[in-house]
Structure 1
């Protein structure tokens, strides 16, 4: 089978030691370079010069084309798929023309600032008959695919209860990078609520199904911070933080089970456990624990346990025997690589679509609009 010819929109020329705004496209690049299922055929940035610089910097070769505009990408018949890894405010205007011209797309999550825009794009993808993927990559991790398989097989019977206790380390005080201030604005579409909780919710919904009803309690413990530039110089003394740093969601799932989700912001969990997820059924329980980290990247120290009532708890192996090229990608980008791998192999349980993302956006919007603020 011929490789999927793909173009990346939003590829920085250089990579910093830590995460820096605008550099996530490099994770997509590394995932695609290591895969035998894809051929990178183009790069499109804000200008032709920027596209050429990225191609040269990453030594992609003369057969990779530099594009100066979206129109060139849309009209090129030699492109099968496009990855969109830019600021959320540009997603809608980039994705829509690509879907209209029947290009498969992968767009980073969150998909767009408003639910209405996500709805329009999901509907357009369906009417165009193309594959439109969401970058909510948590569900691609082997441990979550294993959990879903166990529940589907009836290993714990009918699910009656779920509780997921989590943390995130996005502590916004005493200072915060000005380039990432959008994460602290609840109305930006990519706040801590949307970015951190959204990725977790996608995995939650994929494993347990949709919420029939949901309630939320939100709190912003620290509502001011200093914005600094990349060198640590203060840009703004008193920046207003509106995105919550403490989040409680609970409700009833469509299958009748009761589910809760909590997230606190702290840099060092007391028990060194980043996530603890317990799913209880009529025949047994599952428990997933991990070290501190980022949920949708698949933190280290993952342990999955199953206890059938009347028996002893046992640790479950979730190794899928993955392809060697996936291990060539750094930890932070491995789930991105898994999404591409699942898509290329037609494994629909390994990636999210825009329809899946729309469900998450709707839950988040309801949580935001109808929240009780502590």
Structure 2
């Protein structure tokens, strides 16, 4: 029986992960953790007989620890599914990998802020890391067995979010409600806003760099509104390998939890009558994509600054304290205010995170009411 610890169990990915595990006779949930919705987590635990739980907002059967190491030790999982939102997911990723536990990763920030730290620990412990995001799961499968010198580029697809086709001027007045209307995916508020700004895709570019050891010049982004093609790989002979599937997160979750075994069977996808459109992203209207790519190229703690500033900016937008196009402005201000330094220790990353949040908060305060 494969024992799975689900971090972020009350969010969209966590709930779907529990559905996947419930449907698998050879898997069981050994522990749960959430941020604030302790009541829902308690219901999930009771329904499955889960003895070990942690709620960052208070509650649970295991005392809350900043890195969730106590929960990992109590559960003794075979796999940690990390679906926490934000930089809070970095510590448990590092803690699990330090213990040699496989991590099914849906927390982008673990690699965006701490990619160098993750790589160093994996090299030392040999722990496996399997991506859960649909785009990286697709690349993970496409690149399996392909000689790396044959890979010309990896291509990540973006739905374009609710504002595809709008100009920067048209985006100045969009509302919180507008931005939360994603045309394809059902996700939490923060990631839905990141999708609307294309910051989500920028973070995924940084993730892909760390996951697949690809230079940034070999990672492309295209807008694909149908969300059927999740990723592509350009080969040196001019051909393109394509991963096509339904926009259902249970598919990549199942693949990550079962790897290297075969994923659970699913319904065949009907391609008749479907169309596939691709277009270049408009980085003038969606500057977060370029900000993320630039931070990734700069390296060091710059991606951690980018991520922390974005979290502050998105929270301010959701609280209706800043406008939609203020999000990239706040992020750019923080990147300018906090210089990049080597990201060779957790303390260095956390210090950059803290300074970025302070700089972003100052930038938010300076936005005219």
Q: TM-score, normalised by structure 1?
A: 0.49
Q: TM-score, normalised by structure 2?
A: 0.50
